[in-house]
Structure 1
């Protein structure tokens, strides 16, 4: 009997307390709902729970341009009217609004993914989960698609210090364009994205012909899908492609972005996946027994996002969860049936068998162009990047140290945190 996986789970209650604004589909409140559902099923007792560090600007600038990071740090809702040029340059506006505590929000979710990568690197866990992460659209010099800082790229850069090859898999309904773009010219990261493509669907990239360039040629894989794909078609294609990818590429670690907007009934999505179908992909990836970093991503029907990521936390723990949702702080959102499972949608599946077969053949053809395990000619693994301890006295005196920061200064790194002290957040428009 193999020993149980050690699972590290990252969560900070403050991450769910920001508000993108009325009518904005992104509701970070879904992260509080997910966390409380995880607690109500007592899954926290089977994992190590950590509050992530807030990523330093210098860490964010490992990928993002320093001027963009500095601007995110500086801008506030009250001052944004003074910076029209910069807002346009960095693509901040309707999709990516400036809101209260924006930079701290980025620091927390990025810090969670960076911490997850470091724990995996140092073999302190087998699987690391950061549901707040997975913001895959952010670009080096700007925001995109509700994403400001690309925590996935930062996490992968961290993993590359210890692993010659990283596999990135994305099951969000939107193409993982920011991650693909960051690693488009290298063979050290293979990106595989399953997404809706066509009809001007955001972000408009992710054609099957996008396969990477230069050293990265054949190391970007795109699986463009049409509306209404169901569990059977999606999981069959997913398993065939991912099994071949792992066999061919032999990654040392896998990063799995579990965007829940690919579920049936999502406010912005148009797929027909049940939570069972979505989580079957997670179960399949876990079976490779490779170090695994799991993040959230999109997902705009909040109660279904919380259900999905709770079920997937259970899958990663090999825990069977009763369908009846235990009482918890957000129970009212799961009315009227208070169950974990959701109904399949009844959208027509526009992905014909012949269309899916063509996609599969093209992807497998691409994989054949890669020699087995690019072993020897890989560049050597670069040295670990050292982040100095910042002296509190030298930090910007204009930034008031809040109670939360003071509390953190007296916590040990390994202090157990069960998330029971979240503030209830009322700024919610109930969508």
Structure 2
């Protein structure tokens, strides 16, 4: 078996952003996951890159010009001139998307890393690309939503579509991947597939009857679930659906959003998955051997998010990890047992009855059978990669919006991956 090449994108500043007191979204979790990847030695098997900062122009490939401009200008010190736009774009104290220090830079890091991963995959420079800071699936064309402001997933898929006729997006976050589905609802170039809690739960979308529209009919796949989903039940629906999609759609690239809020014990979630059950989805998708972009997403019990994404990095690398958490700068977070894996809650009832899951699976498979075969497209006149369009230009002639990179595919490679060990100083890092 040929060993897969894995690119990993990390910016040392990504863990230092702070949404505000009491806010459940904590970018610090990405830093904690990175420390586990360092302390377990997994980084030695990764090609580690510092991503470029996505320029506003790149973001407007999907988002509206006025929305991106607003995000780039607003700050906690200057909200008064933007009050009307804040209401228009669902940003501010009365929403779940506050204005915080460095808001736009965090979006640049997350989006730049996902775009860079797509560029690497497009050029065959790796088989799998990982960006744990990405996966911000709720952001809309001109609206922030669900802690998400810029939809790095849509931007990465648009990059992949330059070289790939068909891209499959899979979402295992507990929340419906509504922003990505909405972006591609009327096209057959992208199939979206989301497994999520449905009903009285954010964002309230993702019914099984939401199938896509126009040319995209049957290319949106939704699998609604109830509370208490466990490993065995999840695997029983995930694998047959994904296998059928691979059979009928034949994607040439896959984007997998690995939101960790579907894990047991999540602060906002209500599923009962362990790391092994969640990670089995990664293992299954990786097994198809299709170019794969792996992204983060939700996850609000941050010690478990770090466990999950470090473990799933090991799954991508086919490198087993020991049960004991190795000592690292955040070792005390893993008390009292200091173990890697999670134990499912015995008190949580699985409300997903087997018969109901079988009926839903059958309905999803029947919808997929309605497809007339994989859509084809002749790709011509491929646009230049965003991160390389200024390659070779003199520094004084470069676009000032674009951070100049040393790697030919748009990302700065570490001479020694441990140099990406982040600095101290994050605030409010409690769960």
Asked if structure 1 preserves the Cα contact closer than 8 Å seen for 2:36 and 2:328, the reply is yes
- Quote the residue 1:278 is aligned against: 278
- Quote the residue 1:162 is aligned against: 163
- Quote the residue 1:359 is aligned against: 360
- Quote the residue 1:83 is aligned against: 82
Asked if structure 2 preserves the Cα contact closer than 8 Å seen for 1:36 and 1:328, the reply is yes
Supply the distance in 2 between the matched residues of 1:95 and 1:117 (Cα, whole angstroms): 29
Unaligned runs of 5+ in 1: none
Q: Secondary structure at the match of 1:206?
A: coil
- Quote the residue 1:299 is aligned against: 299
Supply the distance in 2 between the matched residues of 1:117 and 1:18 (Cα, whole angstroms): 25
Comparing 420-429 with 130-139, greater Cα deviation is found at 420-429
Comparing 86-95 with 106-115, greater Cα deviation is found at 86-95
- Quote the residue 1:107 is aligned against: 108
Residues 45 and 107 of structure 1: is their aligned pair in 2 closer, same or farther, counting only changes over 3 Å? same
Supply the distance in 1 between the matched residues of 2:271 and 2:112 (Cα, whole angstroms): 31
Asked if structure 2 preserves the Cα contact closer than 8 Å seen for 1:249 and 1:372, the reply is yes
| TM superposition shift of 1:426 | 3.7
**How many pairs are equivalent?**
421
Q: Secondary structure at the match of 1:9?
A: strand
Residues 235-276 of structure 1: per-residue CA shift (max 9 Å, x gap):
110001000110110000110000000001000000010111
| TM superposition shift of 1:415 | 4.0
Asked if structure 1 preserves the Cα contact closer than 8 Å seen for 2:227 and 2:350, the reply is yes
| TM superposition shift of 1:82 | 2.5
Supply the distance in 1 between the matched residues of 2:46 and 2:180 (Cα, whole angstroms): 28
| TM superposition shift of 1:418 | 2.8
Q: Secondary structure at the match of 1:221?
A: strand
Residues 72 and 408 of structure 1: is their aligned pair in 2 closer, same or farther, counting only changes over 3 Å? farther
* Structure with the larger RCO, 1 or 2 (CA within 8 Å, 6+ apart): 2
Residues 19 and 119 of structure 1: is their aligned pair in 2 closer, same or farther, counting only changes over 3 Å? same
Unaligned runs of 5+ in 2: none
Q: Secondary structure at the match of 2:284?
A: helix
Residues 135 and 419 of structure 1: is their aligned pair in 2 closer, same or farther, counting only changes over 3 Å? farther
Residues 71-91 of structure 1: per-residue CA shift (max 9 Å, x gap):
110001000122111001111
| TM superposition shift of 1:393 | 5.8
Q: Secondary structure at the match of 1:272?
A: coil
Q: Give the TM-score of the pair, scaled to structure 1.
A: 0.94
1:144 aligns with 2:136: no
| TM superposition shift of 1:373 | 2.1
Asked if structure 2 preserves the Cα contact closer than 8 Å seen for 1:164 and 1:381, the reply is no
- Quote the residue 2:254 is aligned against: 254
- Quote the residue 1:242 is aligned against: 242
Q: Secondary structure at the match of 1:224?
A: strand
- Quote the residue 2:319 is aligned against: 319
Supply the distance in 1 between the matched residues of 2:384 and 2:84 (Cα, whole angstroms): 34
- Quote the residue 1:206 is aligned against: 206
Residues 290 and 386 of structure 1: is their aligned pair in 2 closer, same or farther, counting only changes over 3 Å? closer
Residues 421 and 242 of structure 1: is their aligned pair in 2 closer, same or farther, counting only changes over 3 Å? closer
- Quote the residue 1:22 is aligned against: 21
Residues 374-423 of structure 1: per-residue CA shift (max 9 Å, x gap):
23xx36456223544398768999x9x9xxx89989x9844434344411
Supply the distance in 1 between the matched residues of 2:384 and 2:157 (Cα, whole angstroms): 13
Over aligned residues, Cα RMSD in angstroms? 2.1
Q: Secondary structure at the match of 1:13?
A: coil
Q: Secondary structure at the match of 1:307?
A: helix
Supply the distance in 2 between the matched residues of 1:193 and 1:426 (Cα, whole angstroms): 32
| TM superposition shift of 1:345 | 1.5
Supply the distance in 2 between the matched residues of 1:70 and 1:173 (Cα, whole angstroms): 31
Supply the distance in 1 between the matched residues of 2:405 and 2:223 (Cα, whole angstroms): 45
Supply the distance in 1 between the matched residues of 2:368 and 2:110 (Cα, whole angstroms): 33
Q: Secondary structure at the match of 2:193?
A: strand
Residues 159-199 of structure 1: per-residue CA shift (max 9 Å, x gap):
00000000000000000000000000000100000000002
Supply the distance in 2 between the matched residues of 1:211 and 1:341 (Cα, whole angstroms): 36
- Quote the residue 2:174 is aligned against: 173
Supply the distance in 1 between the matched residues of 2:411 and 2:261 (Cα, whole angstroms): 36
Supply the distance in 2 between the matched residues of 1:382 and 1:59 (Cα, whole angstroms): 19
Asked if structure 2 preserves the Cα contact closer than 8 Å seen for 1:241 and 1:364, the reply is yes
Q: Give the TM-score of the pair, scaled to structure 2.
A: 0.94
Supply the distance in 2 between the matched residues of 1:63 and 1:9 (Cα, whole angstroms): 24
- Quote the residue 2:136 is aligned against: 135
